[in-house]
Structure 1
Amino acid sequence: MLNKLSQSYRLGIISNAMPSMDWIFDRLGIRQYFDSIILSAFVNVANPDEAIYHLALNTLQHAEKAESVFIDDKRENVEAAKKVGMLGIHLDREKRDLLQLLKDYELL
């Protein structure tokens, strides 16, 4: 899925994970699919602070808000992304998985 998505989109991660999470991307061999990985511990701002979404847009070569999609399993993070102007999509893992969500929104 990451390979297919990265061929059509610039992908980024915004996470409040611990700094040790950074090596996980290398360990899983998935860093290559992402144009931006922002861990709140390294930028001193966290979800759902709107500043982290602006930072993500800027690191993705000034991505357009209206053309950006933010997917998260926490509603407060999705709402913050919407306030910035992104399309915010809530992923309720009990109802559907990410693959189905992407298909439902015609992103994959």
Structure 2
Amino acid sequence: MIKAVIFDLDGTLLDRDRSLEAFIDEQHSRLADHLQHIPKDQFAKRFIELDAKGYVWKDRVYQQLIEEFEIKGTDWETLLEDYVTNFHAHCIPFPNLISMLENLAEKSIRLGIITNGRGQFQLDNILALGIKDYFEEILISGWEGVSKPDPAIFQKALARLDVSSDEAVYVGDHPQNDIQAAQAIGMKAIWKKDPDWNCMDADGEIDDLNEIGRLVGQFKTQELKAQLQSKKLYDKK
């Protein structure tokens, strides 16, 4: 029986693409003394390219931007600190985030998060979304010392939620780090569709977060049918 749903953060609960665009726009305006010689759309386009959907930390991004755009009067450390300090103020959730979490909570589903990233940075983003109190356990790779797709971080989450792998569902947007990694330890996995990736092996896929409750219900029904079928076969012996 499904007892827990565990979520990825970026690209799943947090609309990171829109959040990053909002931050870049505001940073370019706020630091105009150093960045005004760069057209905003050009600065944003190159930032997003270098960021690689968050898989490149911003120290390297800002070092490259300073070199390419010949940014003067500041350094990459200052720009990075500005990012770390201010990104959370631009966090944008995907639609129906709160209603989805409340729906699962009302069904007594235990909720958790597993996210890769820097500890306080990711926690600040979770707090900015106003969702921290919905989750019994939040595992951030920077604090756990292990990151997805390592099975150890998934096993930690299951242990802390006191559920087995076949009692839990993982929801994420990355085919390898989320879907395949969760399935590898026996969890069901729901893919939050992302146009930049293909994922053919998920147990379910969604466009909208509100679809998660329906899929969890389907998993429970499938499990119940399998149990009944197994009992019938046993009784015939």
- Which TM bucket (shorter chain)? 0.7 to 0.9
Picking from 202, 215, 237, the partner of 1:105 is 215
Secondary structure, aligned partner of 1:14? strand
How big is the shift at 1:85?
A: 0.7
CA deviation string 1:72-95 (max 9, x = no partner): 100112111111010012111457
2:105 — aligned with what?
Answer: 6
CA distance in 2, matches of 1:107, 1:32: 23
Query: Which has the higher Rg, Structure 1 or Structure 2?
Result: 2
Work out which structure has the larger RCO, using CA pairs closer than 8 Å and 6 or more positions apart in sequence: 2
Please point out which of 188, 195, 201 is paired with 1:87: 188
- 2:215 maps to a residue whose letter is Y
- Residue pair 2:103, 2:213 contacting (<8 A) in 1 also: no
SS in 2 for 1:17: coil
Please, which runs of 5 or more residues in structure 1 have no aligned partner?
A: none
Distance 1:52 1:91 in 2: 20
Aligned to 1:96: 207
CA RMSD in angstroms comes to 2.0
Matched letter for residue 6 of structure 1: A
Sequence identity of aligned pairs in percent? 32
Q: Give the number of equivalent residue pairs.
A: 106
Q: Equivalences for 1:14-29 in 2 at 5 Å?
A: 14-19=114-119, 20-29=121-130
Superposition misfits of 4+ residues, deviation over 3 angstroms = none
Paired AA for residue 67 in structure 1: E
Larger helix proportion of the pair:
2
Q: 1:104: how far off?
A: 4.8
The answer as to whether partners of 1:16 and 1:40 remain within 8 angstroms in 2 is yes
Shift of residue 106, structure 1, vs aligned partner: 4.5
Q: Which moved more, 1:35-44 or 1:16-25?
A: 16-25
Could you say if the C-alpha distance between residues 17 and 7 of structure 1 is closer, same or farther in structure 2, counting changes exceeding 3 Å?
farther
Please state how far the C-alpha of 1:5 moved relative to its aligned partner: 1.3
Q: What amino acid maps onto 2:117 in structure 1?
A: A
Equivalent position amino acid for 2:115 in 1: S
CA distance in 2, matches of 1:50, 1:12: 16
2:179 aligned partner, one-letter code: V
Query: Cα gap change, 1:54/1:99 in structure 2, threshold over 3 Å: closer, same or farther?
Result: same
Distance 1:85 1:72 in 2: 15
CA contact (8 A) 1:6 1:34 kept: no
The partner residue of 2:167 within 51, 63, 67 is 67
